[in-house]
């Protein structure tokens, strides 16, 4: 079947169209995304303002037309941290559901982590052993660990690159005090996760998903191989450490000249790099591999298995 996955994230409204059936690898047919940067439309009471609602409605309408054009027979709707935490989130979602003609599943942070882990497990296979999966989104950071398809440990904390940029980095480039406060907060939020992971056996394989990690790996990692349209990249902690301070010292306009840093990511890559660096330090990760599959692919796998069970 041809399936559409509509993901309303903190940065983009993304429609992924795949050819998928149970037991087969989902084959991407087309994808389209609208950069919304939902965080910039949040008011002091954490509600999405009218301008933001309009931007979301237009993006969802565009995404559904795209899915129709590419022959999607069904569409799965997903919403993550930005709308989950917005004070008027239910009203905004109801408005978007009216346009899309589908129901959106509002994922908890743990559900995001679990789906991302499922995707990474399927991509890397059983031979990868115990997996530790890291993911930096716009609103939250997820981590999950385990040897099966369902993680033994998974968690989500409010360390998304967009959220932290909005909260801490008011200048371009950020000033020293802003970076200092950001690092202090990230370290505090990461500590409970590190303490939990210390109680578990050392992972055999550490993988990272998300656009932020992919951008950082293109900037400072190593290209291992190219298989079809997919790049295989690795990144060491020392690779990343070389770039964290350099990114913070550059204005956003200059960062777009760097490999892997797109215009929609340039403002929040500094915060993203800080979270990635702190996670690798706190979890004692020397090297990780970039996984091209993430939450959307996990949602597709879970959906197909649910359809089979029915």
Work out the percent of the chain whose per-residue pLDDT is above 70.
98
Whether cis (ω within 30° of 0) applies to the bond prior to 173 is yes
Tokens of 11: 């940065």
| Section 285-291 average pLDDT | 97
19-66 confidence digits (pLDDT tens)? 988 888 889 999 999 999 998 999 999 999 999 999 999 999 999 999
CA dihedral 269, 273, 113, 186 (to 10 degrees): -110
90-124 confidence digits (pLDDT tens)? 999 999 999 999 999 999 999 999 999 999 999 99
CA distances from 227 to 143, 211, 282 (A): 26, 19, 32
What is the distance, to the nearest Å, from the Cα of residue 252 to the centroid of all Cα atoms in its chain?
Answer: 21
Q: pLDDT band at 228, cuts 50/70/90?
A: low
d(CA 11, CA 212): 11
Work out the percent of the chain whose per-residue pLDDT is above 90.
87
CA distances from 74 to 18, 202, 230, 298, 304 (A): 10, 40, 26, 17, 12
122-153 confidence digits (pLDDT tens)? 999 999 999 999 999 999 999 999 999 999 99
Instruction: Answer yes or no: is pLDDT of 310 > 70.
Output: no
Q: pTM above 0.85?
A: yes
175-201 confidence digits (pLDDT tens)? 999 999 999 999 999 999 999 999 999
CA atoms within 13 A on the CB side of 114: 10
Instruction: Answer yes or no: is pLDDT of 309 > 70.
Output: no
Q: H helices within the chain, ranges in order?
A: 50-69, 81-85, 89-100, 109-124, 161-168, 176-198, 211-220, 237-249, 252-255, 269-282, 295-309
Residues 6+ apart with CB under 8 A from 157: 109, 140, 141, 189, 190, 193
CB 91 within 8 A of CB 104: no
How many residues does this entry show for the chain?
310
């Amino acid at each position: 079947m041809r399936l559409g996955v509509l993901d309303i994230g903190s940065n983009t409204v993304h429609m992924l169209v795949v050819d998928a059936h149970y037991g087969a690898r989902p084959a991407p047919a087309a994808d389209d995304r609208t950069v919304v940067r939902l965080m910039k439309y949040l008011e002091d009471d954490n509600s999405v303002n009218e301008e933001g609602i309009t931007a979301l409605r237009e993006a969802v309408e565009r995404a559904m037309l795209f899915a129709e054009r590419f022959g999607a027979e069904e569409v799965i709707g997903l919403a993550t941290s930005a709308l989950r935490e917005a004070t008027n989130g239910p009203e905004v979602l109801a408005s978007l559901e009216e346009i899309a003609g589908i129901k959106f599943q509002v994922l908890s942070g743990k559900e995001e982590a679990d789906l991302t882990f499922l995707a990474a497990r399927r991509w890397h296979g059983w031979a990868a052993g115990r997996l530790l999966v890291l993911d930096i989104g716009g609103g939250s950071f997820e981590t999950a660990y385990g040897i099966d398809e369902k993680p033994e440990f998974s968690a989500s904390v409010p360390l998304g690159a967009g959220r932290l940029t909005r909260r801490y980095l008011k200048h371009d480039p950020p000033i020293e005090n802003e970076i200092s406060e950001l690092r202090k907060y990230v370290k505090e939020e990461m500590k409970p996760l590190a303490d939990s992971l210390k109680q578990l056996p050392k992972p055999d394989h550490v993988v990272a998903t998300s656009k932020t990690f992919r951008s950082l790996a293109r900037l400072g990692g190593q290209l291992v191989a190219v298989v079809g349209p997919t790049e295989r990249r690795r990144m060491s902690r020392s690779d990343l450490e070389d770039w964290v301070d350099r990114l913070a010292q550059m204005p956003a306009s200059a960062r777009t000249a760097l490999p892997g840093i797109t215009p929609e990511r340039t403002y929040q890559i500094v915060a993203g790099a800080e979270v990635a660096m702190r996670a690798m330090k706190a979890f004692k990760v020397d090297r990780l591999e970039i996984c091209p599959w993430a939450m959307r692919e996990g949602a597709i796998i879970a959906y197909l298995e649910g359809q089979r069970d029915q």
